């Protein structure tokens, strides 16, 4: 009996040590999936198994998580002129508000691995959270009295972070605009100017005969032809610039048949950074295998399920046709209602006219026009245009798209109404908005009232 008891204790001890040992091994990065506490949100599921992307240090606590959020999203918040920055809540005058909700930390509103409480945009607190600080609005502004407390950010009126197209002065400035501007065009792309401004002078154009693929590695004539008509050949980028050295003895930069994303990054650094911040490329940033449409939570075409998402998925190797990348690359994988409706949309008709040269350059609207928009930035006093490759930057909430994209061609009133109309979005804007966001109307009323009261003053 005594022997049996000892055997049980020893067996128990051995099994405890074994199971504890396995869990320690798993915790050390060998099977961290075991410790995931819940499904990851739509924004991060691609990198779910790169735990150290957010949990950069063990036992780091909230500070480490906050730093990780800012590391990836900080620049985005900065460019969006975040209307609730941290400094607002470190101001002692707002101490009572911080006591109600610790808005200094991203995780107060965006907790990960909590599928049951995750709302749109990865928000994990109730929609009436604005009321914790702005409850007075309902009494101070009669126009807001009847609005549900949950509608501040869900009705198309306000955006917690990116309010650039929604604040009152901006609305007043854009009252009574036409729905569509007749001669609207996008700013022209000029990568050559961007490269020049970043210290990469132009090279003389190259022809077929000047290709420098190594001897013995006879490049297929079709590839040479494809390359010879691209911007790469025109910009003097030869085979070895992307594929590595042609000398067999050169071990530092050996020839690679399929060069990776780093080859692209050499010249397209900001584009690569943007790509790796967006959903298409974020797995690459965290050294995971590339994203595939099969792993997406959006509807995708089964035929493209296994495609790897790298630079070459949209910019096909050697052919670098930006027109193909702007539409066909997207519709080749995406299979949601909005994408399927594109071909019948007025945007697509404009795009067809542009690429068939029936209309001026920049007059068409492709998928990339809205989702990988052209951004104007200034460098050494020069206005330059680059393509934002982080397709997530203006995706949700979609009012983020208003100022940078829609307002190039449409008035603000029409834009806000269209962006608030889910049915119209599904039809890829083929029709007129049926919803009406009252922001402009209310801003106008308030402006008129304020002007009248100023007039009455002695």
Partner 1 sequence: MNLSKANYEYSVNAETLSRRRQKSVQSTLRLAHLFVRRAATPKPRGSDRRAGDSLVHASIAAAILVAVILCTGPMAYSESLIEGLQIDRWWRDGVLMQISGYTLLGLSAIGLSLSVRKRWRRLSRYSFRTWRLAHAVIGALSLIVLIAHSGLHLGVGLNLLLMLNYLGLASAGAVLGYLTATDGTVPSPAWQRWKQRAVSLHLWLFWLFPVLTAFHILTVYWY
Q: Is 111 or 240 the residue whose CB approaches partner 1 more closely? A: 111
Among 23, 95, 247, 248, binds partner 1 (CB under 8 A): 23
Name the 3-class secondary structure at 377: strand
Indicate whether 451 belongs to the interface with partner 1 (CB under 8 A): no
Nearer to partner 1, 67 or 127 (CB): 127
Residue nearer to partner 1 on the CB measure, 42 or 335: 42
Tell me the CB-side half-sphere exposure of residue 5, using CA atoms within 13 A.
2
Closest CA to 71 of 87, 44, 53: 53
Residue ranges of alpha helices (H) inside 26-173 are 61-79, 86-90, 95-100, 131-134, 137-140, 168-173
> Residue 325 and residue 59: Cα distance in Å, rounded?
44
3-state helix, strand, coil in the chain (%, to 5): 50, 5, 45
Strand partners, 382: 379
3-state secondary structure of 273: helix
Query: What's the CA gap between 362 and 185, in Å, rounded?
Result: 5
Under the binding rule (CB under 8 A), the answer on residue 129 touching partner 1 is: yes
Stretch touching partner 1 by CB under 8 A, among 113-121, 138-146, 333-341, 419-427: 113-121
| Cis geometry, peptide bond prior to residue 216 (ω within 30 degrees of 0) | no
Distance CA 292, CA 65 (A): 27
Binding of residue 33 to partner 1 (CB under 8 A): yes
Angle between helices 412-420 and 439-456 (to 10 degrees): 140
Backbone torsions φ then ψ of 377, nearest 5 degrees: -135, 160
For the window 241-280, what string marks contact with partner 1 as x by the rule CB under 8 A? ----------------------------------------
Any contact of residue 120 with partner 1 (CB under 8 A)?
no
- Per the document, the length of the chain is 458
Nearer to partner 1 among residue 134 and residue 316 (C-beta): 134
Scanning residues 48 to 107, which ones bind partner 1 (CB under 8 A)? Answer: 51, 55, 58-59, 61, 101
Stretch that binds partner 1, among 37-45, 168-176, 207-215, 357-365 (CB under 8 A): 37-45
Nearest to 193 by CA among 229, 227, 235, 228: 235
Distance in angstroms (rounded) separating the CA atoms of residues 146 and 129? 17
Considering the complex, state which of residue 41 and residue 313 has its C-beta at the smaller distance from partner 1: 41
In this chain, which of 20, 74, 188, 254 binds partner 1, going by CB under 8 A?
A: 20
What Rg do the C-alpha atoms of the chain give, in angstroms? 27
Residues near 334 by Cβ (< 8 Å), separated by ≥ 6?
Answer: 298, 299, 300, 301
Residues facing 300 on adjacent strands: 334
Site for partner 1 contains 302 (CB under 8 A): no
Least Å distance, CB 140 to partner 1, is 17
334, β-bridge pairs = 300
Torsion of the alpha carbons at 334, 336, 340 and 341, rounded to the nearest 10: -140
CA distance 351 to 375: 19
**Of the candidate residues 42, 67, 128, 273, the single one contacting partner 1 (CB under 8 A):** 128
- For partner 1, the closer CB: 108 or 447: 108
Tell me: does residue 126 bind partner 1 (CB under 8 A). yes
Residue 323, interface with partner 1 (CB under 8 A)?
no
Smallest gap from residue 19 Cβ to partner 1 (A): 5
Quick one: 49 or 219, whose CB is closer to partner 1?
Answer: 49
Instruction: State the number of binding residues for partner 1 (CB under 8 A).
Output: 34
Out of 127, 335, 359, 444, name the contact with partner 1 by CB under 8 A: 127
When asked if residue 15 is in the footprint of partner 1 (CB under 8 A), the reply is yes
Region 133-162 residues binding partner 1, contact defined as CB under 8 A: 135, 149-150
Q: State the minimum distance, in angstroms, from the CB of residue 115 to partner 1.
A: 9
Judged by beta carbon, residue 153 or residue 226, the one nearer partner 1 is 153
119 vs 337 by CB, closer to partner 1: 119
Cβ 101 to partner 1, closest distance in Å?
Answer: 8
Please report whether residue 361 would count as binding partner 1 according to CB under 8 A. no
Q: How far is the CB of 49 from partner 1 (least distance, A)?
A: 12
| Whole-number Å distance between alpha carbons of 287 and 261 | 12
Q: Which is nearer to partner 1, 33 or 431 (CB)?
A: 33
Interface residues toward partner 1, by CB under 8 A: 12, 15-16, 19-20, 23, 27, 33-39, 51, 55, 58-59, 61, 101, 111, 114, 116-117, 125-129, 131-132, 135, 149-150
């Amino acid at each position: 009996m005594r022997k049996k008891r000892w055997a049980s204790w020893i067996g128990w001890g051995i099994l405890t040590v074994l199971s504890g040992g396995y869990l320690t091994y798993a915790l050390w990065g060998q099977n961290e999936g075991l410790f995931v506490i819940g499904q990851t949100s739509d924004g991060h599921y691609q990198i779910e198994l790169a735990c150290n992307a957010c949990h950069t240090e063990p036992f780091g606590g909230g500070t480490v998580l906050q730093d990780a959020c800012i590391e990836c999203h900080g620049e985005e918040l900065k460019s969006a002129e975040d209307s609730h920055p941290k400094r607002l809540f470190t101001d002692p005058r707002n101490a009572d508000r911080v006591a109600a909700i610790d808005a200094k930390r991203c995780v107060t509103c965006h907790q990960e691995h909590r599928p049951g409480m995750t709302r749109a945009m990865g928000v994990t607190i109730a929609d009436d959270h604005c009321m914790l600080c702005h409850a007075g609005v309902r009494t101070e502004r009669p126009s807001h009295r009847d609005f549900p407390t949950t509608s501040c950010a869900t009705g198309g009126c306000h955006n917690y972070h990116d309010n650039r197209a929604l604040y009152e002065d901006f609305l007043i400035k854009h009252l009574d605009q036409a729905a569509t501007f007749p001669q609207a065009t996008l700013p022209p792309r000029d990568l050559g100017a961007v490269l020049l401004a970043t210290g990469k002078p132009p090279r003389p154009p190259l022809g077929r005969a000047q290709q420098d693929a190594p001897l013995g590695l006879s490049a297929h004539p079709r590839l040479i032809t494809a390359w010879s008509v691209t911007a790469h050949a025109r910009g003097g980028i030869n085979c070895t610039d992307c594929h590595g050295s042609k000398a067999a003895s050169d071990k530092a930069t050996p020839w690679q048949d399929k060069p990776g994303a780093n080859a692209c990054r050499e010249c397209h650094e900001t584009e690569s950074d943007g790509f790796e911040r967006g959903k298409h490329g974020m797995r690459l940033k965290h050294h995971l295998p590339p994203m595939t449409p099969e792993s997406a939570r959006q509807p995708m075409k089964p035929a493209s399920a296994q495609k790897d998402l790298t630079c070459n998925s949209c910019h096909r190797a050697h052919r670098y046709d930006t027109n193909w990348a702007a539409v066909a690359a997207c519709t080749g994988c995406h299979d949601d209602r909005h994408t399927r409706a594109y071909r019948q949309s007025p945007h697509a008709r404009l795009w067809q006219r542009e690429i068939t040269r029936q209309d001026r350059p920049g007059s068409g609207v492709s998928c990339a026009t809205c989702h990988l928009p052209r951004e104007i930035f200034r460098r050494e006093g020069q206005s330059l245009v680059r393509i934002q490759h982080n397709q997530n930057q203006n995706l949700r909430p979609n009012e983020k798209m208003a100022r940078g994209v829609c307002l190039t061609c449409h008035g603000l009133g029409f834009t806000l109404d269209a962006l608030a109309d889910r049915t119209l979005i599904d039809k890829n804007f083929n029709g007129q908005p049926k919803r009406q966001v009252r922001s402009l109307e209310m801003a106008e009323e308030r402006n008129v009232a304020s002007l009248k009261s100023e007039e009455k003053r002695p």
